[in-house]
Structure 1
Amino acid sequence: MTTPDLDDIAGVAHAPAGTPAGVVVLTHGAGGSRESPLLIRICDEWAQRGWLAVRYNLPYRR
């Protein structure tokens, strides 16, 4: 079996004010990117609720 050779995946973290309750990792749908206004708002909301939210691009978007 062969596996794809992927580079590191860079993401954008939305950190809560205090210690995170956990981590949520989100990505975009087909044709989107991590810069989607909706994805940014969702990650901001997770952070406001105490979670570390990370958004990233899928490999085909790099």
Structure 2
Amino acid sequence: NVFSMIHCKADDEAEDVAKVIQKQIDVTEYKILFSAREFKKTRVEYFVEHEFSLEETIPA
């Protein structure tokens, strides 16, 4: 099984990209799933300076 996420502005553009990938990896059967709606995009903040510091001491 191969899973890939393709980001395009239009469905037909995504289908074209999928066809190119399909030919490159020599797959004869594949399905394309499209999102029904777009979710709010927010940047993930893994380490935020104002929350903690690696040098910060922890009270005992």
Highest CA radius of gyration, 1 or 2? 2
TM range (shorter): 0.3 to 0.5
- Indicate the structure whose relative CO is greater, using CA pairs within 8 Å and at least 6 residues apart: 1
TM-score by length of 1: 0.33
TM-score by length of 2: 0.33
